Amino acid sequence: MPRILVTYASRFGSTAEVAAAVGDELTAAGFDVDVLVAGPQIQVAKYDALVVGAPSYGRNWLPDAVLLVMANAERLSAMPVALFTTGMLGVKNPKSALREHEEIVETLREHAPGLNPLSTALFHGSFDRDNLPFCLRLLDRMAGTPRGDHRSWEAIRSWAQHVGELFADALNETGTNAAPRPGEQAT
pLDDT digits (tens, 9 = 90+) for 24-34: 999 999 999 99
CATH number reported for the structural domain that contains residue 112 in this entry: 3.40.50.360
Domains in the chain, number: 1
Q: pLDDT tens for residues 14-72?
A: 899 999 999 999 999 999 999 999 998 899 999 999 999 999 877 889 899 999 999 99
Domain of residue 134, residue span: 3-173
181 belongs to a structural domain: no
Residues 6+ apart with CB under 8 A from 107: 60, 66
186 belongs to a structural domain: no
Could you give the residue ranges of the DSSP H alpha helices within 39-131? 63-71, 73-76, 89-92, 94-111
pTM of the full structure: 0.83
179 belongs to a structural domain: no
178 belongs to a structural domain: no
- C-alpha distances (whole Å) from 92 to each of 15, 85, 129, 152 are 19, 16, 16, 15
Q: Please, what sign has the CA dihedral across residues 113, 115, 120, 126?
A: negative
100 belongs to a structural domain: yes
168 belongs to a structural domain: yes
Q: pLDDT-based confidence at 179, cuts 50/70/90?
A: low
Q: pLDDT-based confidence at 138, cuts 50/70/90?
A: low
